[in-house]
Amino acid sequence: MAQKTSAQQKGAAPAGIDAGLARALYNDMVLIRRFEEKAAEAYALGKIGGFLHLYIGEEAVGVGATSTLRPDDYAISAYREHGHCLAKGSDPRRAMAELFGRIDGLCKGKGGSMHLFDKSVNFLGGHAIVGAHLPLATGVAFGIKYRGTDQVIVCYFGDGAVPEGEFHESLNLASLWKLPVVYICENNRYAMGTSLERALAQTEIWKFGQAYNMPCEAVDGMDVLAVRDVVARAVGRARTDKTPTLIEARTYRFRGHSMRDPAGAVYRTKDEVEREKLRDPIVLFRDRALKAGWLTEEDARKIEKDVHDLVDEAVAFAEASPEPPASELLTDIFKES
């Protein structure tokens, strides 16, 4: 059985944290971590092709943010999106099958790792042209306002999107038109091998929100509860009075840019990587939850075991799923009316 992640549904009361919420947050972060580890293994075995960008180290951002959303809210992301998609509630088996390029994948194997889409959970993709999905998110928010619902959209993107024009066009339009969108920059300090300092005249990314006259702040992206707090406020503003927000979540990717940059070490020091790993968001939250009594050691172990089983099952499911039939090559180019 696919287990739907549950942090999202627990999102009602950002202030309090109870065992149920702690369990959900921990579960979702461990699920993403394990999913990515197994994906890396499958990649090494040649079962996944192309580019594979892992979210390891950044789990607290996607999980904390999603925990403030309702199921009918939208999320959209770049190509490092497995975590956002799983947090939103996608079936890990179908996500893994998509990475394997199989017919039971979320997109019938036609999207791949960088293009996960799942309409059933309002996950709007996986976009691999840096910056290009920010206008799309803005348009989804425009549509929400046009239809008069109280949904919101969160839009995840990297620090590498900030120097792109579409980041600036989007923030300007969203603020000008008052649209219910939360822009979450996952600042992991590198765009491939280019560090923030080598790319941006203003490295305090949250400050661009000031330029566009919208609420903005930075948050420790290794702290799932801090992320949850900041995003909950932004989502509240978006929902009640259509105010967009720019959030800079400061995080770090523990692995290379993609599987083709396995060491991720020419443009940053080993020391730096090791130092950042000490702030592993999953370890930090586990310790905190145990200390606070939200989880017991047995709870944590049980979650870890269940997640491992679930991801093993996802890999088996992906492996057993057939390749898409040749007929799929020419379907979905146009929607037939």
Partner 1 sequence: MAVMTYREALNLALREEMKRDDRVFVIGEEVGLYEGAYKVTQGLLKEFGPQRIVDTPIAESGFTGVGIGAAMTGLRPVVEMMTFNFALLALDQIVNSAAKMNYMSGGQFNVPIVIRGPGGPAHQLAAQHSQSMEVYFYHVPGLKVVRPSTPADAKGLLKSAIRDDNPVIFIESETLYAVKGEVSEDPDFLVPLGQAVVRREGTDVTVIAYMGMMYRALEAADEVAKDGISVEVVDPRTLQPLDAATILASVRKTHRAVVIEAGAGFAGMGSELSAVITEQAFDDLDAPVERVTGVPAPMPYARNLERAKTPNKERIVDAIRRICNVNGS
Ligand X SMILES: Cc1ncc(C[n+]2csc(CCOP(=O)(O)OP(=O)(O)O)c2C)c(N)n1
Interaction site with ligand X (CB under 6 A):
80, 128-130, 158-161, 188, 190-192, 257
The site string for partner 1 over 124-163 (x = CB under 8 A, - otherwise) reads xxxx-x--xxxxxxxxxxxxx-xx----------------
Token code pair at residue 74: 């939208």
Q: What are the distances in angstroms from CA 231 to CA 61, 106, 277? A: 10, 27, 24
Percent helix, percent strand, percent coil in the chain, to nearest 5:
45, 10, 40
- Span from 46-54, 123-131, 217-225, 301-309 in contact with partner 1 (CB under 8 A): 123-131
| Cα atoms in the Cβ-side hemisphere of radius 13 Å centred on 103 | 11
Cα angle vertex 220, ends 179, 21, to 5°?
80
Radius of gyration from C-alpha coordinates of the chain: 19
- Which one-letter amino acid corresponds to residue 175? S
- Shortest approach of Mg ion to residue 63 CB, angstroms? 18
What, of Mg ion, partner 1, ligand X, none, does residue 192 touch, CB below 5 to 8 Å by kind?
Answer: ligand X
Q: What is the largest CA-CA distance in the chain?
A: 57
Q: Which does 254 bind (CB under 5 to 8 A by kind): partner 1, Mg ion, ligand X, none?
A: none
Interface segment toward Mg ion; rule CB under 5 A; list 17-25, 137-145, 189-197, 214-222:
189-197
Q: Based on CB atoms, which residue is closest to ligand X, 97 or 161?
A: 161
Q: Kindly indicate which of the ranges 62-70, 117-125, 278-286, 300-308 contains the residues binding partner 1, using the contact rule CB under 8 A.
A: 117-125
Burial environment of residue 170 by CB neighbours within 10 A (0 to 12, 13 to 18, 19 or more):
buried
Size of the site for partner 1 (CB under 8 A): 46
Partner from ligand X, Mg ion, partner 1, none contacting 137, C-beta within 5 to 8 A by type: partner 1
Q: How far is the CB of 205 from ligand X (least distance, A)?
A: 10
Listed in sequence order, the residues at least 6 apart from 275 whose beta carbon sits closer than 8 Å to its beta carbon are: none
Distance between CA atoms of 89 and 202, rounded to whole angstroms? 35
On whether the CB atoms of residues 122 and 88 are closer than 8 A, the answer is yes
User: Minimum Å distance from CB 266 to ligand X?
Assistant: 15
Q: How far apart are CA 206 and CA 185, in angstroms?
A: 8
Which of the listed partners (Mg ion, partner 1, ligand X, none) does 109 bind, with a CB threshold of 5 to 8 Å by partner kind?
partner 1
Q: Is 119 in the site for partner 1 (CB under 8 A)?
A: yes
158 binds Mg ion (CB under 5 A): yes
Query: Hunting for tokens 């017991």 — which residue is that?
Result: 296
Give residues in contact with partner 1 (CB under 8 A): 74, 105-111, 115, 117-119, 124-127, 129, 132-144, 146-147, 165-166, 169-170, 172-173, 176, 331-337
Give residues in contact with Mg ion (CB under 5 A): 158-159, 188, 191
